[in-house]
Amino acid sequence: MTIKSHNITALCAVALICATSSFAQEEDSLQQETIQQDVQEFPQQEDQQEPLQQEAQQNPQLPVYYAVPKPTGNVQYIVMPAQNQQPQQTYVVNPQQQPQVVPPAPKKESSLSLFMGLGVNFYISTMSFEEDDEYSYESDYEAQHDFDGKGFNIEGNIGFLIKDFLGFRGFFGIGEQSGESSFSGSNIRCNMSNNCELEADTDLLQILLGVSATLFPFNKRDNPMYNAYIEGAFGVSIQSYDGDYIKQLERDGSATILMKFEVGKLFRISQTLNAGFGVAYSLDISAEAYHDSYEDTYYSEIKHSFWVGVRFVRKKNSF
């Protein structure tokens, strides 16, 4: 009886060991199947990227950026215990994480922009020139030339604009006027007398060179005075006269200092194109004195002009 009881005890122990080993193997098999299913779900993320890749192929200019998962918050941690091996960690992207198209950051715009334009003007002018020569050995010489005329002028300019507020440009203009001149001088004779006055039709060709500064004080687009401007110009004016009696006064032309003041209003046509009008006043002035032992010479010239015209301007508008 003793031998039989020992045999029964041994058989029970063997059966318990076999059952425990079988249960452990089933548990390991179940965990491995779960891990394989989770790992097999990861490649499905590639399917979610197919519409994005097709869109990128159809639109090659569209930049595509893929969101990169971070180690915290966007990943799942799965522990894989294996027999006779150290525990290992496998990182699987969170299935809720979706690839996104992220637009590039906007480029920082420069505060400088191209500022150029073209103007066509109608202008009227009145000019007065006086000359006085005092000689030590003979009588004095006096001469005067007056001109009143009207005509057209075209002007181009180019420069840069600072933040849709202040612009600087160089300008070049050319114009022609027709009018009437009056001449008087001690060397002009009419009806056998000196210092008489003669009148003649005269054409004037004028060239302008210089620089200008333009201020836009109302640079908010919602302001009704947006693109109204104030402009000041400084330069040189060259005049050439064509008249019957100019040679008798030795008065073929002149060069004067030009100062011009203008106000106007532009109207926005597009983001960079504007059209409008302006009115201006300009002053041409020149004076000189010359002295030596035989002669003292004085002459002065002053010319007033009033302008009105249309403006076509390339400038970047505010939005």
Assigned fold of 112-314: Porin (2.40.160)
Give the up-direction half-sphere exposure of residue 58: CA atoms within 13 A in the CB hemisphere. Answer: 6
pLDDT given at position 11: 59
pTM, rounded to two decimals:
0.62
Look at residue 78 in the predicted model and tell me its pLDDT. 46
Contact by Cβ (8 Å): 268, 313: no
Buried b (16+ CB within 10 A) or exposed e, 269-307: eeeeebebebebebebebeeeeeeeeeeeebebebebeb
Which residue type is seen at 86?
A: Q
Cβ(304)–Cβ(128) below 8 Å: no
**What CA–CA distance (Å, rounded) separates 153 from 293?**
44
Burial of 72 (0-12, 13-18, 19+ CB in 10 A): exposed
Contacts of 205 (CB under 8 A, 6+ apart): 174, 175, 176, 239, 240, 242
List 239's β-bridge partners, or say none.
206, 254
Residues whose CB is less than 8 angstroms from the CB of residue 310 and which lie 6 or more positions away in sequence, other chains included: 119, 120, 275, 276, 277
Q: At 43, which amino acid appears?
A: P
Residue 286: strand, helix, or coil:
strand
Q: What are the start-end ranges of the H helices in 154-248?
A: none
Whole-number pLDDT of residue 301: 92
In angstroms, the CA 261 to CA 246 distance is 31
Predicted confidence at residue 39, as pLDDT, reads: 47
| Placement of tokens 């109204």 in the chain | 228
Q: Which residues are within 8 A (CB) of 258 and not within 5 positions of it... i.e. 6 or more apart?
A: 208, 210, 233, 234, 235, 236, 237, 282, 283, 284
- Closest CA relative to residue 249, chosen from 165, 152, 133, 158: 133
- How confident is the model at residue 112, as a pLDDT? 86
pLDDT, tens digit only, all 319 positions of the chain: 444 455 556 655 656 565 555 545 555 555 555 555 544 544 444 444 455 455 545 555 444 444 445 455 444 444 455 555 555 554 445 555 555 666 777 677 778 889 999 999 999 999 999 888 776 666 677 888 899 999 999 999 999 999 888 999 999 999 999 998 888 877 766 665 555 777 888 899 999 999 999 999 987 878 888 899 999 999 999 999 886 656 666 677 889 999 999 999 999 998 889 999 999 999 999 988 767 666 677 889 999 999 999 999 999 887 6
In this prediction, residue 190 carries a pLDDT of 66
- Give me the pLDDT at residue 49, please: 47
pLDDT at residue 197, as a whole number: 77
* Residue 260 CB contacts under 8 Å (≥ 6 apart), including other chains: 212, 231, 232, 233, 234, 280, 281, 282, 283, 307
Domain boundaries, the chain: 2-93, 112-314
